[in-house]
Structure 1
Amino acid sequence: MMTSADRIARVRLSSVYLPLDTPVSDAKVLTGRQRPMTEIAFLFAEIGTEQGHEGIGFAYSKRAGGPGQYAHAKEIAGNLVGEDPNDIARLWDKLCWAGASVGRSGLSVQAIAALDVALWDMKAKRASLPLAKLLGAHRDSVRCYNTSGGFLHAPIEQVLDNASAALERGIGGIKIKVGQPDTRADLARLKAVREHLGEQVPLMVDANQQWDRPTAARMGRAMEEYGLVWIEEPLDAYDHAGHAALAAALDTPIATGEMLTSVGEHAELIRARGADVIQPDAPRIGGVTPFLRLAALAEHEKLQLAPHFAMEIHLHLAAAYALEPWVEHFEWLEPLFNERLEIRDGRMLVPDRPGIGVTLSEQAAKWTAERYETT
């Protein structure tokens, strides 16, 4: 086997908790399944080599799971020391087998994700290329839409103001949350937003899995008149047959996938034809390496792509997808990094910085709860 002279010398892990300015609620809170979200847990991985090359990556968890991701990463990170950092696919498999007894999805691969993203970041930096260019970009910018301004804890007046501010910033589309116990409230909220935006602004809704099949069918029909780009997560994330029936019955595209935690789960969704728009989350399915495997499956089926959250990573992956994608704008993570992504004319621009193009801020260091390093 051909090898390079360089070897991984150290892996540094950080457990970081990002506080949210305002507790955030979607339909899962209004239906009593969850409490408002007040913080996001991040697992950061920083990998360094004997020749001085470095890479950074991250995974995250909302509400629960952050300590578990960090603990699993601590157990497996030592398997990278002494390895050739270029052999990313082989190293992903090595890390996966190191934790094979806890499975190949969910928390175990999410711990791998931070390490995998760091290896891809390093590889792109070594090539002096943005990650999108290393992968083979189809475009230098990606359509972007804002989600953070449309949550259900915000009164409709604030949602309208947030939408206007997003458009003024250059964001191209607006997504609002639905899925409230009172479906009439959802329709009234949607009507107000559409009238505020006008007919030309791309608009999406997200029910966060809170409808049953009859409700989703009724709401889907009622929402047809608003010309939505998609209806997101109308049903339970694993109800592939239900999503497929909606996709076949409605003119409005069905989007889902963010809660699936492996390529295998996404493959089942694709096989069932349960989505017009697939929404994988690289940190949730194990990093860039499995995302690329999934993207090949999705492209083969001519699915639209709209990766969930983590725009700092997903901008690069969306830029490398053959069909015109969307990327989701959340400003929540910005305090963690020294850099900012540029948005113009409805699109998010791929940065010309090498790698994924981010470095950790001093604020991230202040929010760090634990650190671990293996050499």
Structure 2
Amino acid sequence: MSRDAIRSVKLSSITLPLEVPISDAKVFTGRQRPMTEVVFLFAEITTEQGFEGIGFTYSKRAGGPAQYRHAQEVADGLIGEDPNDIARLLVKLQWAGASVGRSGLATQALAAIDVALYDLKAKRAGLPLAKLLGAHRDSVRTYNTSGGFLNASLEEVQERASQSVAEGIGGIKVKVGLPDGAEDVRRVAGVRETIGDDMPLMVDANQQWDRSTALRMGRRLEEFDLTWIEEPLDAYDVEGHARLTRTLDTPIATGEMLASVAEHERLIAGDACDIIQPDAPRVGGITQFLRLMTFADQKGLDLAPHFAMEIHLHLAACYPREPWVEHFDWLNPLFEQRLETRDGRMLIPERPGLGITLSEQARQWTTESVTLGTR
């Protein structure tokens, strides 16, 4: 095949409304308001030979417009470039916006482009992205989070947990971190009773405990045989997480809020978790995520990527150790396709690339859009 070149890059800001305002522990501790929407930055890249790739990043509560503006400022550097040179193109865009750093919002803006380039490359090869990268498995264990938020009553959480298990989900995660620890224990006990002793159960405190509270709550929750306790402490408290990892029998999971490879390296080097939870859109895309997987595997860590199952399913399938992928049905309205779950696992789609296309509804939710280059 002759050398191809990028012809155009379309950037779109799409606001996904949530049916019900969502609350985790950060709302109940007064640090955030309930979440009512998620803002996505989509990148659609087209080549001279007619290949197309799609990628996305996202922001919850704030930052979406800034991600869009940053991507708009630097993305024209892709026009005329060979789309196969993903690592080189990522570095080029990083330098185009170097004055605002290589983490946080600027990194997240580039993630949509990086993911789109990988999607395009897999489509050129006629392969699902997992197969292009080199999969260890054709399906990944999956657990559900979207039914376990604190705005829902225990009875609602129990009902949704039962429904998820019936739909082929392999584990249930519920939110904790309420000011009243006894209520956390009551909710966890109720869900454990509903799903039985053999179903994996996880809890997520969303960074709302201090060190002493996390230790006490971790010990109180050990009777429920949890698969992990997620984000018990502030995301940047490496030492505190390391102490919990050494002290508690229950595995500690964290990492979703970190916004660069360097931040994850510090977490990994500090032996601060048993299960690492990177988020490809937050760390800069698939190029960066693959680097993290290498570090995590060298340390013997388990992997459970955060959110964005449409991307993370493919990446988790490539991890040498048996991983988890987080099932969220929030994003379903954005795409024409659905990911299939069966016997506790999410199946790698046979469609090329990520295997997703934007829905007409997503197009209608677009608030801003720009095309760089020509079509």
Q: Distance in 1 between matches of 2:249 and 2:161?
A: 25
1:129 aligns with 2:127: yes
> Once the two structures are superposed, what CA deviation does each residue of 1:185-208 show, in whole Å capped at 9, x if it has no partner?
101111111111110000000000
Asked if the contact 1:270–1:298 (Cα under 8 Å) also holds between the matched residues in 2, the reply is: yes
1:4-83 alignment, distance < 5 Å: 5-83=3-81
Task: Give ranges in structure 1 of 5+ residues lacking alignment.
Answer: none
Aligned partner of 2:331 in structure 1 is 333
Normalized against structure 1, the TM-score is what?
0.99
CA RMSD of aligned residues (A): 0.8
1:263 aligns with 2:261: yes
Q: Distance in 2 between matches of 1:189 and 1:121?
A: 40
From the superposition, tell whether residues 347 and 86 of structure 1 become closer, same or farther in structure 2 (CA, over 3 Å).
Answer: same
Q: Distance in 2 between matches of 1:96 and 1:307?
A: 24
Asked if the contact 1:4–1:84 (Cα under 8 Å) also holds between the matched residues in 2, the reply is: no
Q: 1:200 aligns with which of 179, 182, 198?
A: 198
1:1-375 alignment, distance < 5 Å: 5-375=3-373
Q: Give percent identity, aligned residues only.
A: 69
Q: Distance in 1 between matches of 2:83 and 2:300?
A: 33
Q: Distance in 2 between matches of 1:52 and 1:198?
A: 51
Q: Distance in 2 between matches of 1:282 and 1:141?
A: 19
Q: Secondary structure at the match of 2:40?
A: strand
Q: Distance in 2 between matches of 1:338 and 1:191?
A: 37
| TM-fit CA distance, 1:79 | 0.5
Asked if the contact 1:262–1:285 (Cα under 8 Å) also holds between the matched residues in 2, the reply is: yes
Q: Distance in 1 between matches of 2:43 and 2:116?
A: 6
Q: Distance in 2 between matches of 1:167 and 1:357?
A: 25
Q: Secondary structure at the match of 2:50?
A: coil
Amino acid at match of 1:167: V
Amino acid at match of 1:169: E
Q: Distance in 2 between matches of 1:364 and 1:263?
A: 30
How many matched pairs? 373
Asked if the contact 1:9–1:82 (Cα under 8 Å) also holds between the matched residues in 2, the reply is: yes
| TM-fit CA distance, 1:4 | 5.7
| TM-fit CA distance, 1:5 | 1.7
